[in-house]
Structure 1
């Protein structure tokens, strides 16, 4: 059953911490450590080095890591999972931003084994290259199913799309991302719940919870932040953590409404077969209210006006 309007959490949102490190100036991705309690990971946006930071629950940096051999054209998102065979944490960093919608012939996602100690240094990565089956596009969200390890990319467009990576990723060739559903308009991040029973897609205005088959569960109102960027689940799956860009930017905890919480499950649920038609029907509502659409139209008109003025002055 889908709910039409935004849901308001049973408990009030709260600030979990602010990033204390001035090097974290454009926090774009956010993830909770799978193996180190009380540790959170983030990385900066475009024009930054291929680095990520581990911070504690007070927002203080415990360690900074440089990813050897990686590029950082436009890192926009990250995810964290646990290897089912070894139990080790796995971090995924998505170099998927493309503001020109076609500037890059392919995009990359880097797989990094989570450091065993919170000591700054260099880490190695496996690079996977991707292209979309229907042409290049901009994206700012990735999510990885905790049970199957399947990777998904969520595009940032007025007609957003959820793309599924191949079950087996290969390093020797480009992997093709195939459309499996629709996403809310202008998605800035996405994440799977720890038990795999739902996923969330965040936009500038709200967050929308979906079942794995793409059926919308509910929308959750978001805090008023400087620039909505990142989202992930708390380890217990009962709340969302959301972040923003900017120096000393906050990470907010937003409880998920009681009626939208999954039934207790000891292990991640298996990923069901995807149904594109069902996904498009459920997610095609774009996750926006009428007010959101009015704001977007106003912003679009303002942008067109500014561009027109600049063009006339430079002729």
Structure 2
């Protein structure tokens, strides 16, 4: 017969496990990027065509992107972009409502050494396999002069492209034209002020914009194409915080890092209701942290507080039972 101590330990473990939030079947979990070719995963975007797959790329690399399966961390397709020039500093990736993948060759570590940067666009392949695809190259200029940037976001309903510049004193949010043109420079105009940004993503319903930096992440209400109220998010501390994207159903944010064998961490979005299984569309209200909830701050959320309270209550009850058993003995 098991000892009382063993029984209590098992019971306490059951309390902890029952208090922990469970992953629903089919949800994208955290994963490690297994491909040793991916050493500078600077951008991350959830595929709309292939559930559970994420697009990523290196900074300094040839014209290629990788499709990574979140269930295994393995690369399931390497896509080589055909018909474009040699990339200089690819920093971001986003999937648009047109079913295309947008890659931002927008980095400029010398803060203004290039008078233009590029965006590449290619359709998401229907079949994931190593292949070359035709891509369109767009030239980008900023209305107020060259700058460094690492975040490119395509709005999920309007298809408009936005870029957030990166600077130690704070950057700017830049809006592209209503439609990109391959025939001439696309001028991006500053429409807002943002902190140091390494990546960003719109919620699937387009109602929020999340921007992350090395040490924090923020969500902004998005209305009529402009930044609104700001909330701090509970982002993980990573080796080099480089990327962020929503899961395709809007139920969580996926945070990525640079380096070989980098980890992508899943953080549930407070108040989000995942779309039904098999649906590629976001659920209503799945746009981000609910206003006014502690989950929007850096000190954890209501979910963490509830888990902690349940664990403590369970532990206290078990200790009380143990003491009573000792007195009876």
TM-score (ref. length: structure 1): 0.75
Q: Considering only aligned residues, what root-mean-square deviation do their CA atoms show, in Å?
A: 2.5
Which deviations, in whole Å up to 9, do the C-alpha atoms of 1:189-222 show, x marking residues without a partner? 0111111111100111111001113123411122
State the shift of 1:40 in Å.
Answer: 1.2
Alignment of 1:172-191 (within 5 A): 172-184=183-195, 186-191=196-201
**Which residue number in structure 2 is paired with residue 118 of structure 1?**
128
State the shift of 1:182 in Å.
Answer: 1.1
Q: Which has the higher mean CA deviation after the structures are superposed, 12-21 or 198-207?
A: 12-21
How many aligned positions are there? 253
**Which residue number in structure 2 is paired with residue 221 of structure 1?**
234
CA distance in 1, matches of 2:188, 2:160: 11
Q: 1:254 aligns with which of 267, 282, 286?
A: 267
CA distance in 2, matches of 1:207, 1:190: 9
State the shift of 1:11 in Å.
Answer: 5.6
Distance 1:267 1:240, change over 3 A: closer
**Which residue number in structure 1 is paired with residue 155 of structure 2?**
145
Distance 1:246 1:37, change over 3 A: same
CA distance in 2, matches of 1:181, 1:56: 35
Which deviations, in whole Å up to 9, do the C-alpha atoms of 1:157-180 show, x marking residues without a partner? 122110000002111110110011
What SS is found at the alignment partner of 1:24? coil
State the shift of 1:12 in Å.
Answer: 9.9
Distance 1:205 1:61, change over 3 A: same
State the shift of 1:252 in Å.
Answer: 0.4
Which deviations, in whole Å up to 9, do the C-alpha atoms of 1:97-133 show, x marking residues without a partner? 0011111110100011111111101111111111111
CA distance in 2, matches of 1:11, 1:176: 45
CA distance in 2, matches of 1:131, 1:34: 29
CA distance in 2, matches of 1:219, 1:136: 29
Q: 1:159 aligns with which of 139, 159, 170?
A: 170
2:37 corresponds to 1:23: yes
Rg larger for: 2
Distance 1:268 1:78, change over 3 A: farther
Q: 1:51 aligns with which of 61, 64, 75?
A: 64
Q: Which runs of 5+ in 2 are unaligned?
A: 1-19, 276-280, 285-295, 299-329
Q: Which runs of 5+ in 1 are unaligned?
A: 1-9, 84-88, 270-286, 290-315
CA distance in 1, matches of 2:190, 2:36: 38
**Which residue number in structure 2 is paired with residue 74 of structure 1?**
89
- Conserved? CA contact 1:15–1:250, under 8 Å: no
Alignment of 1:200-219 (within 5 A): 200-212=210-222, 213-219=226-232
- Conserved? CA contact 2:274–2:283, under 8 Å: no
Pick 1 or 2: higher relative contact order, CA cutoff 8 A, min separation 6.
1
TM-score (ref. length: structure 2): 0.72
